[in-house]
Structure 1
Amino acid sequence: MIVAATAGHVDHGKSALVRALTGRDPDRLAEERRRGLTLDLGFAWCDLPSGRRAAFVDVPGHERYLHTMLAGLGPVRAALLVVAADQGWSAQTAEHADALAAFAVPHLLLVITRCDLADPGPAAALAHRELLGRGLPAPDPIATSAHTGQGLDALRTAFDRLSLSFPPGPGPVRLWTDRAFTVSGAGTVVTGTLLGGTLRVGDRVELCPSGGDGPTATVRGLHVCDRSVTEASGPTRLAVNLRRVPLVAVPRGSALLTPDAWVTSTLVDVRLHAPDSEPAALPAEVMCHLGTARRPARLRRLADDLARLRLSAPLPLHVGDRLAVRDPGTRTVLGATVLDPMAAHIAGRGAAARLRAALRSATGRPLLADELTRRGLVRSADMRCLGIPLPAGRPEQEWLIDPEHRHQLAERLMVLVWSHRELSPDVPELTREQIRDALGLPDTRVIDLIMSPHLREDHGRIGLANAPLPAALHKAAEIAHWELTTAGLRAPTALRWRELGVSTAELRALTRHGVLVRPAPDVYLTPDAIQQAVAVLQGLPEPFRVSDARTALDAPRRIVVPLLEHLDRQGITEKVTDDGHRRLSAAPTSSPRSTD
């Protein structure tokens, strides 16, 4: 389906054209029919020659209904700009054309109406020049008459060609509501234009009403052009029956959203678009329009074409969304591309300058590489909420990092580990929490992205891999080596280590450096001694008991029991009976690691 809005001056024949095309009257209100004047948004549809369908959002042309006109143009990507042959281009035509340019509506048909009353040539020529001056597409005009039927077939054919540019849109749902009403026995129904995504009966949707974030709701039913369906994909006009949602919760300007797929924000950085690239003349207090929603906002200039908007209430946004920003005093309407809907507060000296520099290169296109370059480190979930496609075919990581930022953080991590090792040789490794705080990381899991091959992690502590023993531990290492070589598996007690002048902190540091192995508190052995013990155990008949191991190893129970438990943890031995009989499960391939 193609969904298009009408645009043009009051009484230029927009509603009459829609009636002639569809056979349906878009004016719903009795007052509209009585006065022959569109006061609110109207809706109608028709089948095209190809079998595809066109739906129309008819907007009021009177200057007093500017807000309603913007609500009609905001959610669509195609429009008919209607100019009457007998009246030509007018002030409201220009205002509507400015709104089309502000929203960057990409598909436009120029329709000259009332061609039975005047030559369409002059009106068409002026309209063509005005559109080009605003940077809008300026297609060949289609001359029509709702009274005689002239040009209606050509207009339907043009719609058919244009509909090929509107395949079903992927992505999450954001349905802007333009009507809400109650149906007896069904409850609340909202209508709107769905540009992309698929909505199904039974889906959960988030409600973002005009006052801010709302709750979730369940889709009870769907209708497309008065026909009940179980699912609908954009672009289409859609009526949605919501389960147990009060009517007041979904006024015009509300949105039905795919959960966790949008940034709902009040602080937004944008690039302003003005004719002829001149600095946009806007006051500090403006009105912002997106979809059918409007928000008062405070505008802060960051540069000639860059600004920050502080909205009075949240809007659901993606990078690249197009806002219309209006001066309430002069009715000037300018376009604004959303660069960052997750804007951070500006604080500290030089923060505004850094923000300007970062935003100057922002394109407003939803590209992951651009976001990583600007942000450095991001959550994958945040990228989805910003509308940034993630790489396909790869396992999703919680955190994504820019390559240059990764390089910088990896260098800082190496410097941090080296510095800490020099200052604290007895505890040379750092915990993940210490690294997180020192580097200002948001999550300890980011460390996995910046770990160097020159670093290793052991029992939650990170230090240098294959690092030489610090000079401060050389003496303690010599004493421990001499004592343990002499004692073998009859390891010194805590009292004996104190007599030797080796502190508990030094013993633990030697363990972390791999000089010693600590099978249990106050039991320290060399890796060679443990390897030799395993070789002795391999000669025992299996299964063997603790007493068998004590006899074979010629070692006291205070050593043998924790040694066997250590070998159990390493997967070298395993218990086969409840009373402690063991067997060797595998021969060790390297020195057993400490449990310290």
Structure 2
Amino acid sequence: MHVVATAGHVDHGKSTLVRALTGMEPDRWAEERRRGMTIDLGYAWTRLPSGETISFVDVPGHARFLGNMLAGIGPAPAVLVVVAADEGWRQQSTEHLAAVEALRLRHGLLAVTRSDLADPGPATEEALRRIASSSLGQVPAVQVSGATGAGLDELRSALDALVARLPAPDPAAAVRLWVDRAFTVRGAGTVVTGTLAAGTLRVDDVLSLRGRDVRVRGLQSLGEPHEHVTATARVAVNLRGVELDEVGRGDALLSPGSWRPSALVDVRLDPGDRLPAELTLHAGTAAVPTRVRPLDGDVARLSLAHPLPLAVGERLLLRDPGDGRIVGLSVLDTAPERLRRRGDARRRAEALRQGPEQPQDVLERRGFVPAGSLAADGVEAGGWLVARSRWAQWQEALRAACLEHQRAEPLSPGLPEGAAAAALGLPDPEVVAPLAAATGLERGSGRVRTAGWRPSLGAAEEAVRRIEDRLRNSAFDAPDLDELRSAGLGPRELAAAATAGRLLRLPGEVLLLPDGPARAMRVLAGLPQPFTVSQARTALGSSRRVVVPLLEHLDGRGWTKRAPDSSRTVRRP
């Protein structure tokens, strides 16, 4: 499973988009549905064309609920930025992007919603320009309408490419599950939910909660019970012997002995204006009143109202409750020594700037290493310096990993970059791209493969060939789901056929030849304009099951224009 948080201004269609993608209602409270505005975090999930499952954390866009938004985006590894075509970039768009930048999130996607109400071009251009200046950098953009469904298939494909780029989590890592919801289930007791970013949870595990041991009574993920759940995942944990008033948002379930909660933390602040002394620290889903003591320059000491389980190197953010200003920071020390003498603060800051001793083969990113420590014979890749001997080992290992993946997964379009980074033990997924280039491998859609390699349909080849022959004779006579299942064609086989350019895959597993849309346009251009779905169905000699997603696909390409009454007009003959 992959987890993606939304971000964007209030009323720009985040929840509508999640609802259209998943068929689930992310707004949990009656007040939210009555007001048509998300107040708290919402959750929904669906399966992507590749077969991967994606879970959305839908966040509120209103300025009054920025704290809730930060609780949702904090544990998420990727973000779907939403901007409305008819309103463009707005105030909360800026505030949410500031939070993304403060957390240094690097994986994202832009969805320009309500593209049926206005030309999405200007909003897309401005949003891409603003996002490019953040830690997300250049991101793909999809123009979509949650109301009409136009562009949803393109968005699903873009989400597939996004999650393929995400780094693989460590299933053996210590658990730190930030709680975002707590409630009671009749007959089961207290249940908490959260995003499991690393590690594995098992039924009967003993975890630490507020300094005491608690036992996992049961686990659910995506509404189904499990004996164990491995990151990344949305998970519900039934806790034995815990009352509802003993746990809530901002608490964390921890692997015992693996975390040392601290109320005193030394940090490096991102550049910015002078900060007030009293701020709120946001870590995971927690929001803790914090006092800031500058040590020297950009190094400061934080005194938290209560301890949090933090890790050296992780990104957190400080928020000024007064004006909403957000400042990012990196954790330098979670168990700092006390400052007793005059000059201790300056000396402490200087020591922290020197940082830990650097490994011999992989050095820290430029800007975080002492002057003169860069190896003269290192290879620079993705902001890292790597010893040439290690670089050569990684090249050999990456080629071998690609070959093994292609042998084991002939339907796959390539080894996901996140999986490649995990298999090689790379310090950062950003190293994969220059490493693949140096190794002579191909990259595309977040995957790596040997030059010239394409997915093999294997046992599915004959079934795909029969569909191709059928569509050549009757372009819009697409097989239904029962026929596909009988032929042994599931989501993975169909995704491989689409990736290979053999078939065009529309929502609802509607399959056409790649030139199907062009053939449809030649027919539709001959109809009286505008035309209805029924007229298009008759002219194409097909069913509503096929024609509706086909017309939505043409809308998304800009070849047809949909009117409020659902009639269409051909825009490009």
TM (norm. structure 1) is 0.59
Distance 1:122 1:74 in 2: 30
The corresponding residue for 1:271 is 268
Equivalent pair of 2:221/2:236 in contact (CA under 8 Å): yes
**DSSP 3-state at the match of 1:218:** strand
1:218 aligns with 2:215: yes
Quote how far apart the aligned CAs of 1:222 are: 0.5
Q: Which amino acid aligns with 1:267?
A: L
Distance in structure 2 (CA, Å) of the matches to 1:270 and 1:19: 39
1:337 maps to 330
Deviations 1:101-148 (A, max 9, x none): 111122111110011011111111111121223343231211111112
Partner of 2:352: 359
Counterpart code for 2:247: V
SS in structure 1 at match of 2:138 = coil
Equivalent-residue separation in structure 2 for 1:293 and 1:221 (angstroms): 24
- Name the structure 2 match of 1:38: 38
- Structure 1 unaligned regions, length at least 5: 209-213, 375-596
Counterparts of residues 81-100 of structure 1 (less than 5 Å): 81-100=81-100
Alpha-carbon offset, residue 361 of structure 1 = 2.2
Q: Kindly tell me: are residues 340 and 35 of structure 1, through their superposed partners in 2, closer, same or farther at Cα, counting changes over 3 Å?
A: same
Mapped to 1, the partners of 2:31 and 2:66 lie a distance apart of: 18
Report how many residues are paired. Answer: 364
Output the CA distance in 2 between the equivalents of 1:321 and 1:331.
Answer: 22
2:308 pairs with 1:307: no
Map of 2:249 onto structure 1: 252
Aligned residue type for 1:250: V
Equivalent AA in structure 2 for residue 191 of structure 1 = T
CA distance in 2, matches of 1:48, 1:361: 45
Does the CA-based 8 Å contact 1:319-1:366 persist in structure 2? no
The separation in 2 between residues aligned to 1:301 and 1:266, in whole angstroms, is: 16
Counterpart amino acid of 2:170?
G
Partner secondary structure for residue 302 of structure 1: strand
Report what 1:289 is aligned to.
Answer: 282
Q: Which has the higher contact order (CA 8 A, sep 6+)?
A: 2
How far apart, CA to CA, are the structure 1 residues paired with 2:347 and 2:61?
A: 44
Residue in structure 2 matched with residue 470 of structure 1 by the alignment = none
Do the aligned residues in 2 keep the contact of 1:116 with 1:145 (CA within 8 Å)?
A: yes
Cα 1:244–1:287 change in 2 (3 A) is same
Distance 1:148 1:364, change over 3 A: farther
Q: Find 1:240's aligned residue among 237, 241, 266.
A: 237
Q: 2: distance between equivalents of 1:273 and 1:233? A: 33
1:139 corresponding residue in structure 2: 139
User: How far apart, in 2, do the equivalents of 1:128 and 1:154 lie?
Assistant: 17
Deviation per residue, 1:401-452 (Å, 9 max, x gap): xxxxxxxxxxxxxxxxxxxxxxxxxxxxxxxxxxxxxxxxxxxxxxxxxxxx
Say whether the 8 Å CA contact 1:10–1:61 is kept in structure 2. Answer: yes
| CA distance in structure 2 between the aligned counterparts of 1:368 and 1:224, rounded to whole angstroms | 40
User: Aligned in 2, Cα 1:366/1:162: closer, same or farther, shift over 3 Å?
Assistant: farther
Counterpart among 206, 209, 212 of residue 207 in structure 1? 209
> Given the alignment of the two structures, is residue 350 of structure 1 paired with residue 343 of structure 2, yes or no?
yes
- Classify the secondary structure of the residue corresponding to 2:50: coil
Distance 1:58 1:114 in 2: 17
Contact 2:100–2:135 (CA<8 Å) still a contact in 1? no
Contact 2:249–2:285 (CA under 8 A) maintained in structure 1:
yes
Matches within 5 A, 1:114-153: 114-153=114-153
- Structure 1 equivalent of residue 168 of structure 2: 167
Equivalent of residue 181 in structure 1, options 171, 180, 183: 183
Aligned-pair CA distance for 1:355: 0.6
* Contact in 2 for aligned 1:21/1:152 (Cα 8 Å): yes
Among the aligned pairs, what percent are the same residue?
54
* Cα distance change, pair 134–187 in 1 and its aligned pair in 2 (3 A): same
The answer (yes or no) to whether the contact 1:182–1:188 under 8 Å persists in 2 is yes
- Matches of 2:34 and 2:3 in 1, distance apart? 27
1: CA distance, partners of 2:5 / 2:161: 17
Q: Contact 1:11 / 1:37 at 8 angstroms: preserved in 2?
A: yes
Q: Per-residue displacement from partner, 1:443-500 (whole Å, max 9, x unpaired)? A: xxxxxxxxxxxxxxxxxxxxxxxxxxxxxxxxxxxxxxxxxxxxxxxxxxxxxxxxxx
Alignment partners' CA distance in 2, 1:333 and 1:50: 37
Q: Which string of whole-angstrom CA distances, capped at 9 and with x for unpartnered residues, describes residues 224-251 of structure 1?
A: 1001001111111000000111111111
Q: Distance in 2 between matches of 1:366 and 1:301?
A: 30
Q: For the residues of structure 2 that align with 1:342 and 1:178, how far apart are their CA atoms?
A: 26
Give, in whole Å, the separation in 2 of the partners of 1:140 and 1:163.
13
- Aligned CA distance change for structure 1 residues 112 and 363 (closer, same or farther; 3 Å): farther
Asked if the contact 2:32/2:38 (under 8 Å) is kept, the reply is: yes
* Cα 1:237/1:107, change in 2 over 3 Å: same
Letter in structure 2 aligned against 1:342 = A
Q: Which secondary structure state, in structure 2, belongs to the residue aligned with residue 64 of structure 1? A: helix
Answer yes or no: is the 8 Å Cα contact 1:270–1:340 preserved in 2: yes
CA deviation after TM superposition for structure 1 residue 335, in Å: 0.7
1:465 aligned residue: none
Partner of 1:69: 69
Aligned to 1:392: none
Deviation at 1:92, TM superposition (A): 0.8
- Counterpart residue type for residue 248 of structure 2: P
- Secondary structure in structure 1 of the residue aligned to 2:301: strand
Match of 2:296, SS? coil
Q: Which runs of 4+ in 1 moved over 6 A?
A: 363-371
SS in 1 for 2:119: coil
The CA distance in 1 between the partners of 2:295 and 2:132, in whole Å, is 29
Give the deviation of 1:281 after TM superposition.
2.8
Q: Displacement, 1:186? A: 0.7
Distance in 2 (alpha carbons) for counterparts of 1:329 and 1:134: 24
Structure 2 CA distance, aligned partners of 1:4 and 1:147? 21
Q: CA deviation at 1:365?
A: 9.8
Any idea what SS the aligned residue of 2:17 has?
Answer: helix
Tell me the CA shift for residue 364 of structure 1.
12
Displacement of 1:169: 2.6
Q: Distance in 2 between matches of 1:148 and 1:281?
A: 47
Does the C-alpha gap of structure 1 residues 332 and 364 become closer, same or farther in structure 2, counting only changes over 3 Å?
Answer: farther
Give the aligned residue type for 1:182: T
Residues in 1 aligned to 2:167 and 2:114: alpha-carbon distance in whole angstroms: 29
CA offsets per residue over residues 193-217 of structure 1, 9 Å max, x none? 0100001011110013xxxxx3110
